[in-house]
Amino acid sequence: MVAVMAREQQLALPVQLPDHALFSNFVAGGNEPAYAHLQRLAQAEWQPQEQFTLLFGGAGRGKTHLLCALCESFANAGKSSIYLPLAELANPSAASVLNGIEQYDLIALDDLDAVVAIPEWAEALFILINRLLDKRSGYLACAAAKSQQRLPIALADLRSRLQLAVTFQLQELNDAGKVKALQQHAQERGLELSVEVGDYMMQRLSRDMHQLMAVLEKLDEASMAQQRRLTLPFIKQILQV
């Protein structure tokens, strides 16, 4: 499945970008430099030294959120963008999806580490970067679990090209930052999540942000079904923790 956002339209592909992934609800914490850099790209004049960006770090640090928010910001600026979750395309024949996508103002490639060890993908990515360099416009933003130096890249020339990227290692939010993120996402769902409830979730549940957001979705559904607020007794009842 592939998610794409283009100028004033959604292309006929099966997954849409998540509505909740916006710059406005991203809690930056120690990732303010990456956050500020990406926010600027859709608004500022194109700069060759900022044409390529790489975000890297472990799961639950906001890589996908930031890429999707970047696509949203380009759409709001009247510019075209395409988002590709490469972990869902990790077979040699799928590398052809990169053909011609340099036409977009922004190309956002998630899970780069899922494909760079595949020779066909490594070559296709190298060719794409060269086309963007020749075009002298547009942006490529990628996310991976590891830095350029540590990725198992099948093509030495691709590793060299990735060295051109402005690179940010994303840091995990502390517990207070995670509670703030949960509060913001709860508010967007029409829920009020108190600091007390957030702290309880930190103490009793996994601190992985993906899992915490999945729990929040479960609580949202239960709250709607039972017309209940997110109180501690209600959360204990639903989660049985």
How far apart are alpha carbons 130 and 74 in whole angstroms?
22
Helices (H), the chain: 32-41, 63-76, 119-135, 156-162, 175-188, 195-204, 209-226, 232-239
**Is the model's pLDDT at 12 over the cut of 70?**
no
Q: Name the pairing type of β-strands 106-110 and 166-169.
A: unpaired
Q: Could you write out the DSSP letters of every residue in 177-235? A: HHHHHHHHHHHHTT----HHHHHHHHHHS---HHHHHHHHHHHHHHHHHHT----HHHH
Q: Name the pairing type of β-strands 3-5 and 139-144.
A: unpaired
Q: Is residue 106 within 8 Å of 141, Cβ to Cβ?
A: yes
Q: Region 175-191: what's the mean pLDDT?
A: 90
Q: What is the pLDDT of residue 2?
A: 42
How far apart are alpha carbons 110 and 88 in whole angstroms?
10
DSSP three-state, residue 58: coil
Q: Region 74-86: what's the mean pLDDT?
A: 96
How big is the CA angle at 164 (ends 162 and 166), to the nearest 5 degrees? 100
* Low-confidence winner among 23-37, 72-86, 176-190 (lowest mean pLDDT): 176-190
pLDDT class of 241 with cuts at 50, 70, 90: confident
Q: Is residue 144 within 8 Å of 138, Cβ to Cβ?
A: no
How far apart are alpha carbons 106 and 82 in whole angstroms?
6
Q: Look up the CATH superfamily of 3-169.
A: P-loop containing nucleotide triphosphate hydrolases (3.40.50.300)
* Ramachandran angles phi, psi of 144, nearest 5°: -150, 165
How far apart are alpha carbons 73 and 80 in whole angstroms?
10
How far apart are alpha carbons 89 and 93 in whole angstroms?
9
DSSP three-state, residue 159: helix
Q: Can you tell me which residue has the tokens 């930056």?
A: 28
Residue predicted with more confidence, 10 or 210: 210
How far apart are alpha carbons 94 and 111 in whole angstroms?
14
Q: Region 31-39: what's the mean pLDDT?
A: 97
**Is the model's pLDDT at 11 over the cut of 80?**
no
Those residues with Cβ within 8 angstroms of residue 213's Cβ, 6 or more apart along the chain or in another chain: 182, 185
How confident is the model over 41-55, as pLDDT tens digits? 999 899 999 999 999
Q: What residue spans define the domains of the chain?
A: 3-169, 175-239
**Predicted TM-score of the model (pTM):** 0.84
